[in-house]
Structure 1
Amino acid sequence: MTAAPIDHPEYLPFKLDPVARRVLWVRLSAPQRREAAFLDDRALPPDAEGGWRPWSSLTTRDGAGVPPAHAIFHIGHCGSTLLSRLLDTWPEVQGLREPLPLRTLAEAWPALDQPQSRLSTMQATQALDALWARWSQPLPPRRVSIVKATSGCNGLIQPLLERHRQMRAVLMAMPLRPYLATLLKSPASVVDAATAAAERLLYLRANAIAQDVSLHALTLPHQCAMGWLAERLRFDALAGGEHGSRLLRLDFEDMLADPARELQRVVAHFQLDPAQLDRALASPEWNRYSKATVHEYGRSDREHDLALAMSKHATQIAEGEAWVAQQLRASGRTV
């Protein structure tokens, strides 16, 4: 890399290394960004251009005056990738799906005030500002960036809303039973949920729920159910808080049942051109597996798989539902 990556709009901060205090910058064209379901190693082209630069290469200087990117936050495996790809059908929208640096910061965030943290609160906040400024700059002719975060990044919603007053976000979820069935039919999805379980348990305990719960004592179905409860309560708190008017709650089951109504809500929320709605409703993305679009996977396929999973994993689903009900009774909370 012969010039500073900040001078090339196609370069994105691709990885953060807080140990060596460096940033990996990678050049990604508009088609490459559009194709990527995840902005991690799976998105790296064979002939990737880029390189590691010092931590100081993160800067907000070229983001001044650019409206902040909007965002999609979610509980995981609830249609957020599909929504992001549908929004890509708007000519003005650039979708960025699950950029890895955001996940790195989200993992570091809960321990920022601890002596073992590799980043100070100021360093982490400055990095978040610089990353969001970069992701807020779509490649022409796109004019609006919408970042779909990894499900473990929900602890960053509040700081992002506080720092970017024009930013809007969708909070996407689904009911507990289909959520558990969706996770339990895929071992990798269970691992994803378990990986985020520690932060979610800390969130519950900070809100006077699950006070006697230790992570090591929870089964995997319980950890999945705990994650759903934590994110449901987090979304409730955010929606009822200071920035609630800039948040839109979206249920995946509702989106599948009435795509036109729910997408219209999203379009209005992100202030996109409503004339493009029919194009999104006719998109072939509805009949593809959003994380790997070479595979066909429509609504009927999902219904079939979900019914099988609910039957096969009925015992574990019931365990998860009972755990959530027990915690809500003990805390006097409702969802």
Structure 2
Amino acid sequence: MTPEPLRDPRFLPFKLDLVGQRALWVRLDATQRRDAAFLDERALPPSPEGGWLSLEAWRQAAPAASAPAADAIFHIGHCGSTLLSRLLESWPEVEALREPLPLRSLAEVWDSRGDALSRVSADDAEALLDAAWAAWSRPLPPRSRSLVKATSGCNGLVEPLLQRQPTLRAVLLDMPLRPWLATLFKSPDSMSDAASAAPSRLRYLQSRGLADGLALHAMSLPEQCAMGWLAERLRFDALAAGPLGHRVLRVDFETLLDAPGPTLATIADHLGLAAEGVAVAVTSPAWGRYAKAQAHDYGRDDRAHDLALSLQRHAASIAEAEAWLGRWQAAHPDASFGGTVGG
């Protein structure tokens, strides 16, 4: 495949093959992008147009002129990030790209980049992150701004992206522990996601010196979920309090549900979006749809009913997770994680 897609915003970097040192580029139109909850195999049209390009050709290509760097939503998973990305599409200039696979691939190798066993050097990983973000920052006309909604396993890239993309602004989305656990426990797939993220989240606690005595093999699944929630809370707190904190905004999904107008106004101000768009976002049909499958009705009352049922059915597991967090807090009385167990 020729490097032509590098200059054509209709094509997106869709998949990284680090073994074969190549990237798959796929052409997706505005409707396909808007409909996709995940930019992975599920988003491919029946006869996709595109092809593979070597990473060497991608890295060496002169960067094409692009719109301002895409802004981002990072989150803890299963906390309303897809809904928020759809609400932000209420602004006519915003094109949202949800969970592009290459970002996840880069997140998976980021901490080991340059190691002897890594398939990508530190310099090449950073160059690929820059190149991919530039490609995701080219919305299809008439949209003029891009927003990338990352996969929850990509939170280790928040700080590198803020450092490397000086105009990028990020929303950091989470929710209190109890409703988050209730959300996870009502879905085996959600529990699997949380378990898959546990190693990287424990590694973050280790990097902060806050994981003494912790080992995944000695922790129950509810305890691993509580640990993951804690790790991301601490990460988001550190980002907000750090030197780049003015470019991140902490958002609680429960607050968004309880006070959508004021919360969306704060998010719009943070991202530099017109205040007039808030009224459109507040009345968006996305509120009454299942965010990942817009054909299905699913409103706030449906969610409240499901959570109440999950809290009842999984009370013992939720109590186990909360007890673990209480023990951790007792062992680390000076550590703050942006809230209490219940809120």
Pairwise CA distance, 1:308: 0.4
CA contact (8 A) 1:63 1:136 kept: no
Residue 327 of structure 1: CA displacement? 1.5
Distance 2:49 2:192 in 1: 32
Count of matched residue positions in the alignment of Structure 1 and Structure 2 = 335
SS of 1:293 mapped into structure 2: strand
Identify the residue that residue 91 of structure 1 maps to in structure 2: 92
Counterpart Cα distance in 2 of 1:2 and 1:57: 9
What is the aligned-residue identity percentage?
A: 57
Deviation of the 1:56 alpha carbon: 2.2
Secondary structure at 2:290 match in 1: coil
Shift of the alpha carbon at 1:64? 4.2
Partner Cα separation in structure 2 for residue 305 and residue 154 of structure 1: 28
Greater shift, 135-144 or 214-223, is seen at: 214-223
Aligned partner of 1:171 in structure 2 is 172
**Deviating 4+ runs (over 2 angstroms):** 1-4, 56-66
Pairs within 5 Å for 1:223-238: 223-238=224-239
Q: 1:29 to 1:57 in 2, by over 3 A?
A: farther
| Deviations, residues 13-55 of structure 1 (Å, cap 9, x unaligned) | 0000111101000000111111111000010000110111111
User: Within 2, Cα distance between the matches of 1:3 and 1:66?
Assistant: 20
Match of 2:340 in 1: none
CA displacement at 1:220 relative to structure 2: 1.4
The residue identity in structure 1 corresponding to 2:325 is: V
* 2:7–2:64 CA contact under 8 A, matched in 1: no
CA-CA distance at 1:100 after TM superposition: 0.4
Work out the CA distance in 2 between the residues paired with 1:51 and 1:14. 10
Q: Who is 1:217 aligned against?
A: 218
- The amino acid of 1:28's aligned partner reads L
Superposed, which structure 2 residues align to 1:1-335 within 5 Å? 4-59=4-59, 61-64=62-65, 66-332=67-333, 333-335=335-337
Q: Report deviation, 1:65.
A: 5.9
1:130-169 deviation per Cα after TM superposition (whole angstroms, max 9, x unaligned):
0001111111111110100000000000000001111100
Distance in 2, Cα, partners of 1:121 & 1:256:
41
1-side partners of 2:259 and 2:188: how far apart?
Answer: 30
**Equivalent AA in structure 1 for residue 273 of structure 2:** L
For the 8 Å contact 2:3–2:58, the answer to whether it is kept is: no
Q: Is the 8 A contact 2:6 2:64 kept in 1?
A: no
The letter for the 1-side match of 2:332 is: S
Is the Cα–Cα contact under 8 Å of residues 63 and 137 in structure 1 kept in the other structure? Answer: no
Tell me, which stretches of 5 or more residues in structure 1 are unaligned?
none
TM-score (norm 2): 0.95
Q: Unaligned stretches of 5+ in structure 2?
A: 338-343
State the alpha-carbon separation in 1 of the partners of residues 260 and 326 from structure 2: 31
TM-score, normalisation: structure 1: 0.97
CA distance in 2, matches of 1:76, 1:310: 18
Query: Which shows bigger deviation, 267-276 or 99-108?
Result: 267-276
